[in-house]
Amino acid sequence: MITSKLPNVGTTIFTRMSQLAMETGALNLSQGFPDFDGPQALRDAVGRHIAAGHNQYSPMTGLPALREQVATKIQRCYGRAVSADSEITITPGATQAIFCAIQALIRAGDEVIVFDPCYDSYEPAVELAGGRCVHVPLGQPDFAIDWQRLNDALSPKTRLIILNSPHNPSGALISRTELDRLATLIRDRDIYLVSDEVYEHLVFDGAQHASVVAHEELYQRAFVVSSFGKTYHVTGWKTGYVVAPAALSAELRKVHQYVSFCGVTPLQWALADFMAEHPEHVEQLPAFYQAKRDLFCDLLGDSRFCFTRAAGTFFQLADYSAIRDDLEDVAMSEWLTREHGVATIPVSVFYQQAPKDLRLVRFCFAKREETLRQAAEKLCAI
Ligand SMILES: Cc1ncc(COP(=O)(O)O)c(C=O)c1O
């Protein structure tokens, strides 16, 4: 009988809720992916590159043309000149980039601080490396860093802090001032950062994303991760990248080289072409998703759900205590799917220990207008 290295890992709630949505025919506002396609020109480019014979391994660090495009974008958006050769690595998805960064850094006995609620891939990656996650709950109701708790959680064993802004599931943003405060806190300690910025271009109401790439001091000890899947509406392409100073990138690449070696070649060619031809795509994303957020929230205004509009990401949290205060959120999500035809994600699954009175579900609004209208109609009828 095999002894599991990850005894606490089962089928994730994302798979379960998407399956339940399929079985019941519910509208799927659970897992975070669009129900519309990426840009036609981007999809056409893949076919073109496959036909042109771009079907063999790309360089281990990623296609040079794509790394150049990422460097150009970083300069444009965050004002930092990074080396496409030594600081940017293309990976098969942001999740793999995070995994490689963690394996490159963490040794047995190291502690990694994660902020709850947090994305579910962090902890198994830390455990496989022999480390231990120390869970620091974000403050309520705004999901901001609780500095006292963070301070209390630091120990001589702390080797890494994982940040995620814009934040899944809450949509909260870390500000530049908070990054400054973090820099002061860890200045004299041997602590690194993984900054999960896969929703970097999804920030609303005129806010600016405070990227760790743009923070001179923090960047020196950071792996900054993003996802082409989120930015170009092609989550199934599982293509992402990590930006880190040369010495950190070199260590990450040692792992990446033996986890996958490289990303999918024709996808990288297509992304490089599209980024060169359509730099405006990322500029237009905030307005594109803000319109979806606002449509969904305006329509939900007639429901008994309570919410504050998400500041970023394509997720909207909603408090359902006025509807079914008797149900915990996992049961509520199942009830909403089975009885009311809308699949959601319960927020407690993002916690090691969720607050007892948590009555929040997460809706994904990366959906066509028609889907959002149908979902809101069902939710308003409850
Ligand atoms: C916070 C966060 N990080 C990483 C990822 C994964 O990105 P990718 O699909 O590129 O691996 C997701 C996807 O849902 C996410 O929400």
Residue 239 has a pLDDT of 98
Residue 264 has a pLDDT of 97
Class of domain 13-31+281-380: alpha beta
Q: Sorting pLDDT into bands at 50, 70 and 90, what band is 247?
A: very high
Q: Which residues, in sequence order, are CB contacts of 177 under 8 Å at separation 6+?
A: none
Q: Which residues, in sequence order, are CB contacts of 216 under 8 Å at separation 6+?
A: none
Class of domain 40-278: alpha beta
Q: Which residue has the tokens 């396609």?
A: 37
* Inter-residue contact 368 to 36 (CB < 8 Å): yes
What DSSP designation does 113 have?
Answer: E
Phi, psi of 91 (to 5 degrees): -130, 160
Q: Which residue has the tokens 């403050």?
A: 139
Cα 304 to ligand 1 centre (Å): 30
What DSSP designation does 40 have?
Answer: H
Residue nearest to atom 14 of ligand 1 (CA): 32
Report residues whose beta carbon is within 6 angstroms of any ligand 1 atom: 32, 93-95, 119, 164, 168, 196, 198, 227, 229, 235, 238, 240
Q: In one letter, which amino acid is 187? A: R
Residue 197 has pLDDT above 90, yes or no: yes
SS3 assignment, position 168: coil
CA–CA gap between residue 245 and residue 213 (Å, rounded)? 10
Ligand 1 atom closest to the CA of 32, numbered from 1 = 14
Computed on alpha carbons and rounded to an integer, the radius of gyration of the chain in Å comes to: 20
Percentage of the chain beyond pLDDT 90 is 96
Dump pLDDT digits (tens) for 319-361: 999 999 999 999 999 999 999 999 999 999 999 999 999 999 9
| Mean pLDDT confidence for 189-202 | 98
Ligand 1 atom closest to the CA of 96, numbered from 1 = 11
Q: Sorting pLDDT into bands at 50, 70 and 90, what band is 363?
A: very high
Q: Where are the domains of the chain?
A: 13-31+281-380, 40-278
What DSSP designation does 235 have?
Answer: G
Ligand 1 test: best mutation among 227, 237, 256, most atoms within 8 Å of CB? 227
CA–CA gap between residue 192 and residue 218 (Å, rounded)? 9
DSSP assignment of 132-156, as one string?
A: EEEEEEPPTTT----HHHHHHH--T
